């Protein structure tokens, strides 16, 4: 039996080799055009769907994705990884390396192997140019329509959300429709290449198999209940057989130790469930876990987070303190306790707790953000300015920090600086009227370089209005 499994895997690998050596259609579309498709796809997703923007969660998912990217040959695209707030089980890759996981699928994961397996499979679709090839074959269809159809299929056209249905119906109403679901051949090729990437990145590949089995287990008889992943990523049975065979016969490189620290996934997943899961469901699950194991720090942490979302800040603090009794130097739990102190108006406790967290993890952007807000809440605007400036230096795209830095400068009497950062904030928000108002007042600055930069931004804003 093992011999036949070997033959199956070797035969599949030969097909893969032929595809790699003679890619055919993959060379028909330019990188520039694919990047254009990717931007349009991203625009539609941002317009119609909600992304999970929690920096802690986003950074973790991107860390795992980039770990796999390092195992690839040089790529023409910069890969980005996102979680979309949708309960359906799905993951998808747009042209040019934007990779999305639905929140429902991420919540169903139990370890880093499973996350890495899904990400690697989607990365392989991008490397093989599967989605861009399908779009290229429909050259008469406009990019906006294509992006709408892609987003509709991605988020479940078979009876899912209102936004996805509107996208798809709009495309059909225009008399333009295509299927962007992958073929069986696409799926097998993505598995073959993805498993190789996983192996090189230090993962066993077992996570992809367990996730496929989880997705399959949710399949019911009604077509409207089939997980979206099975409609956009078909041939699950063939894939399960192939991946199982590959895992049985593949030999790990000598000296490679497949050891993964489970904590990073656990803390990230717990925060995701506590901060973004359905509150009533999460409360019941975590209450059950705590009843079974009252000293479980992850259960206590997650329970504290969801209690804070319900407005029960007192009990939230109690549970996070209990979690800290088991993990006294956990910077993430300390940060969230400090954040909840801040929302409770307990600025001194917030300040001390957030500073303790930063002593352990000095680069935590979110911790810096709430430290700056706590300092401002105590009237220590000079300290708040320094904290927000440090944050922006580490992460220039953290837009909320621009607003609170501008606010701190204003309360400190530094009005030109206040107007400058508030102008940048509103410009990034797309509120060009308010941005122009503040930036024109920021022109009173005595800094010639900043004045020149402000004029350039005002010119850009004028072109966008």
Determine the 3-state secondary structure of 364 from DSSP.
Answer: coil
DSSP output for 80-121: EEEEE---S--EEE-GGGEEEEEHHHHHH--SHHHHHHHHHH
Right CATH for 262-464 from 3.40.50.720, 1.25.40.10, 3.30.1360.120, 1.10.10.10: 1.25.40.10
* Residues 384-422: tens digit of each pLDDT: 999 999 999 999 989 999 999 999 999 999 999 999 999
What is the rounded distance in angstroms from the CA atom of residue 154 to the CA atom of residue 178? Answer: 13
Least confident among 1-10, 87-96, 215-224: 1-10
pLDDT bracket for residue 9 (50, 70, 90): very low
What is the rounded distance in angstroms from the CA atom of residue 47 to the CA atom of residue 163? Answer: 10
Per-residue pLDDT at 257 exceeds 70: no
Per-residue pLDDT at 78 exceeds 80: yes
Q: For residue 212, what pLDDT is reported? A: 85
Cα distances (angstroms) measured from residue 157 to each of 108, 133, 160: 21, 21, 6
pLDDT bracket for residue 166 (50, 70, 90): very low
DSSP 236: H
Instruction: Please calculate the CA angle 180-175-161 and round it to the nearest 5 degrees.
Output: 55
Determine the 3-state secondary structure of 51 from DSSP.
Answer: strand
What is the rounded distance in angstroms from the CA atom of residue 72 to the CA atom of residue 200? Answer: 9
Angle between helices 448-464 and 432-442 (to 10 degrees): 160
Q: For residue 179, what pLDDT is reported? A: 47
Per-residue pLDDT at 117 exceeds 50: yes
The edge-to-edge listing of strands for the beta sheet with 91-93 is: 80-84, 98-102, 91-93
Q: Residue 272: CA atoms inside 13 Å, Cβ hemisphere, count?
A: 27
User: What are the beta bridge partners of residue 100?
Assistant: 82, 92
**Averaged confidence pLDDT in the chain:** 81
Q: 212 near 195, Cβ under 8 Å? A: no
Per-residue pLDDT at 82 exceeds 90: yes
**Percentage, residues of the chain above pLDDT 90:** 53
- Closest by CA position to 342, among listed 306, 390, 376: 376
DSSP 233: S
Q: Taking the CB of residue 393, how many other CB atoms lie within 10 A of it?
A: 8
pLDDT bracket for residue 96 (50, 70, 90): confident
What is the rounded distance in angstroms from the CA atom of residue 90 to the CA atom of residue 103? Answer: 9
* Residues 336-363: tens digit of each pLDDT: 999 999 999 999 999 999 999 999 999 9
Q: For residue 403, what pLDDT is reported? A: 97
Taking the CA atoms of 385, 386, 388 and 389 in sequence, report the sign of the dihedral they define. Answer: positive
Per-residue pLDDT at 255 exceeds 80: no
With a CB cutoff of 8 Å and minimum separation 6, the contacts of 122 are: 91, 92, 93, 99, 190
Q: Determine which helix (DSSP H) or strand (DSSP E) holds 300, and give its type and residue range.
A: helix 297-309
Per-residue pLDDT at 437 exceeds 70: yes
Q: For residue 91, what pLDDT is reported? A: 85
Per-residue pLDDT at 221 exceeds 60: no
What is the rounded distance in angstroms from the CA atom of residue 111 to the CA atom of residue 115? Answer: 7
DSSP output for 125-186: HHHTTHHHHHHHTTTTS-HHHHHHHHHHHHT-TTT--HHHHHHHHHHHHTT-----SPPHHH
Taking the CA atoms of 63, 64, 68 and 69 in sequence, report the sign of the dihedral they define. Answer: negative
pLDDT bracket for residue 246 (50, 70, 90): confident
The structure tokens listed for 450 are 């900043």
Q: For residue 351, what pLDDT is reported? A: 98
Which of the two residues, 187 and 50, has the higher pLDDT score? 50
- Closest by CA position to 164, among listed 181, 143, 149, 142: 149
Chain centroid offset of residue 389 CA: 25
* Residues 271-300: tens digit of each pLDDT: 999 999 999 999 999 999 999 999 999 999
Per-residue pLDDT at 329 exceeds 90: yes
pLDDT bracket for residue 95 (50, 70, 90): confident
- Closest by CA position to 423, among listed 408, 395, 447, 443: 443
What is the rounded distance in angstroms from the CA atom of residue 19 to the CA atom of residue 3? Answer: 25
Least confident among 127-136, 309-318, 380-389, 444-453: 127-136
Locate tokens 């440090």: which residue? 390
The structure tokens listed for 423 are 């102008």
Q: 125 near 131, Cβ under 8 Å? A: yes
Per-residue pLDDT at 161 exceeds 50: no
* Residues 15-46: tens digit of each pLDDT: 343 343 333 444 456 788 888 878 877 887 88
Cα distances (angstroms) measured from residue 208 to each of 75, 108, 262: 23, 13, 17
Q: Kindly compute the dihedral angle of the four CA atoms of residues 107, 55, 69, 95, in this order, to the nearest 10 degrees.
A: 80
Separate counts of helices (H) and strands (E) for the chain: 24, 3
Burial code (b: 16+ CB inside 10 Å, e: under 16) for 437-459 equals: ebbebbeebeeeeebebbeebbe
User: What are the beta bridge partners of residue 80?
Assistant: 98
Per-residue pLDDT at 220 exceeds 50: no
Domain boundaries, the chain: 2-249, 262-464
Mean pLDDT of 310-332: 96
pLDDT bracket for residue 463 (50, 70, 90): confident
What is the rounded distance in angstroms from the CA atom of residue 454 to the CA atom of residue 421? Answer: 11
Q: Determine which helix (DSSP H) or strand (DSSP E) holds 31, and give its type and residue range.
A: helix 31-48
Q: For residue 164, what pLDDT is reported? A: 41
The structure tokens listed for 345 are 């108006």
């Amino acid at each position: 039996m093992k011999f036949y499994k070997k033959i199956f895997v070797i035969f599949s690998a030969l097909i893969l080799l032929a595809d790699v050596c003679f890619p055919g259609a993959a060379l028909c579309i330019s990188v520039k055009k694919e990047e254009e498709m990717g931007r349009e796809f991203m625009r539609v997703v941002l317009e119609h769907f909600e992304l999970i923007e929690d920096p802690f969660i986003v950074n973790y998912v991107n860390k795992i994705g980039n770990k796999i990217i390092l195992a690839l040959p040089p790529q023409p695209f910069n890969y980005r990884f996102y979680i979309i707030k949708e309960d359906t089980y799905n993951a998808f890759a747009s042209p040019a390396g934007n990779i999305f996981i639905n929140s429902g699928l991420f919540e169903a994961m139990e370890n880093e192997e499973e996350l890495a397996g899904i990400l690697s499979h989607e990365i392989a679709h991008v490397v093989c140019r599967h989605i861009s090839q399908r779009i290229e074959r429909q050259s008469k269809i406009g990019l906006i329509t294509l992006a709408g159809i892609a987003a509709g299929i991605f988020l479940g056209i078979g009876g899912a959300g209102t936004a996805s249905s509107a996208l798809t119906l709009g495309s059909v109403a225009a008399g333009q429709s295509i299927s962007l679901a992958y073929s069986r051949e696409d799926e097998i090729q993505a598995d073959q290449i993805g498993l190789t990437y996983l192996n090189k990145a230090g993962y066993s590949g077992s996570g992809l198999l367990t996730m496929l089995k989880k997705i399959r287990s949710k399949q019911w008889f009604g077509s409207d209940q089939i997980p979206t992943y099975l409609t956009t990523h078909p041939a699950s049975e063939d894939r399960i057989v192939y991946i199982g065979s590959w895992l049985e016969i593949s030999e790990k490189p000598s000296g490679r130790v497949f050891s993964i620290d489970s904590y990073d996934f656990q803390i990230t997943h717990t925060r995701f469930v506590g901060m973004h899961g359905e509150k009533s469901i999460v409360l019941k699950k975590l209450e059950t876990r705590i009843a079974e194991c009252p000293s479980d720090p992850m259960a206590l942490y997650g329970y504290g987070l969801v209690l804070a979302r319900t407005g029960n800040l007192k009990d939230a603090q109690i549970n996070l303190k209990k979690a800290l009794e088991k993990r006294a130097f956990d910077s993430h739990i300390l940060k969230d306790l400090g954040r909840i102190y801040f929302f409770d108006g307990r600025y001194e406790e917030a300040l001390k707790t957030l500073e303790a967290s930063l002593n352990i993890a000095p680069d935590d952007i979110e911790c810096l953000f709430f430290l700056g807000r706590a300092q401002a809440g105590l009237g220590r605007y000079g300290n708040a300015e320094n904290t927000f400036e440090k944050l922006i230096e580490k992460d220039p795209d953290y837009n909320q920090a621009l607003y609170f830095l501008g606010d701190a400068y204003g309360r400190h009497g530094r009005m030109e600086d206040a107007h400058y950062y508030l102008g940048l904030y509103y410009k990034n928000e797309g509120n060009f009227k308010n941005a122009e108002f503040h930036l024109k007042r920021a022109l009173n600055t005595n800094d010639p370089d900043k004045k020149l930069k402000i004029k350039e931004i005002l010119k850009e804003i004028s072109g966008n209005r």
